[in-house]
């Protein structure tokens, strides 16, 4: 009753297996250019209960290959993400170059960083480079280190800095990228905040953020000279 269909299935499987075996026998070089397929084959090595050396070596190599595949996939993903961010930075640069005052710079940064960079809080703070004036401003004194800082600072944000930077936007901000801005006779910080604690990590690369800081600082200087 049920043995008929099962037998047909078994017969079909056997026929396909025979056809594959016949094809491989007729084409002994089939795997020469198909190394990826070879790595996924399972070829038994009967050793009476023990794992053969060949089988063990193949398993180790297969595991290493899988790790390399995952690593390559991760690198490709990161490269694509970097390329997308570079394109967004280029678009933002063009918009910044078209600004005519510092207030407009703040608006452009807020719009672009929220939309294209998934920011949930954005703030641009500028202070005088005069040490006496900076010391009198508690927010400026908290960021004096940024005058000589060459790279952005990423990671968790202390509550006092969070409040000083983001004010009413500070609720729930778990981490931030703090980008130094040098626009003599001013210095400052461009802060990008996120509620995701893993969005800005201390070990992340800052090349694009540093470039953004340089662009913003340069445009602020240009506008200062134009209106000075």
pLDDT bin (cut points 50, 70, 90) of residue 213 is very high
pLDDT for residue 1 is more than 50: no
Is the full-model pTM beyond 0.75?
Answer: no
pLDDT tens, 99-135? 888 899 999 999 999 887 789 999 999 887 776 666 6
* CATH number at 100-227: 3.30.450.40
pLDDT bin (cut points 50, 70, 90) of residue 22 is confident
Query: How far is 195 from 48, CA to CA, in rounded Å?
Result: 58
Query: How far is 138 from 192, CA to CA, in rounded Å?
Result: 20
Show me where the domains of the chain are located: 100-227
pLDDT tens, 145-197? 777 888 999 999 888 888 888 988 888 999 999 999 988 888 889 999 999 99
Query: How far is 14 from 125, CA to CA, in rounded Å?
Result: 75
């Amino acid at each position: 009753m049920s043995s008929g269909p099962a037998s047909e299935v078994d017969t079909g499987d056997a026929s396909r297996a025979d056809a594959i075996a016949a094809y491989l026998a007729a084409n002994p070089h089939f795997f020469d250019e198909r190394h990826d397929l070879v790595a996924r084959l399972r070829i038994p090595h009967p050793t009476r209960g023990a794992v053969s050396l060949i089988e063990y070596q193949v398993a180790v190599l297969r595991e290493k290959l899988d790790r390399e595949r995952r690593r390559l996939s991760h690198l490709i993903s990161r490269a694509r993400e970097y390329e997308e961010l570079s394109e967004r930075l280029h678009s933002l640069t063009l918009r910044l170059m078209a600004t005519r005052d510092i207030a407009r710079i703040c608006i452009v940064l807020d719009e672009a960083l929220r939309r294209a960079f998934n920011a949930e809080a954005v703030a641009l703070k500028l202070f005088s480079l005069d040490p006496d004036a900076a010391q009198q401003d508690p927010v400026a004194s908290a960021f004096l280190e940024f005058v000589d800082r060459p790279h952005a600072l990423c990671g968790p944000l202390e509550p006092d800095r969070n409040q000083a930077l983001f004010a009413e936007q500070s609720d729930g901000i778990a981490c931030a990228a703090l980008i130094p801005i040098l626009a003599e006779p001013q210095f400052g910080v461009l802060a990008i905040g996120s509620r995701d604690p893993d969005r800005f990590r201390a070990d992340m690369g800052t090349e694009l953020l540093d470039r953004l800081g340089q662009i913003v600082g340069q445009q602020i200087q240009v506008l200062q000279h134009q209106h000075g």
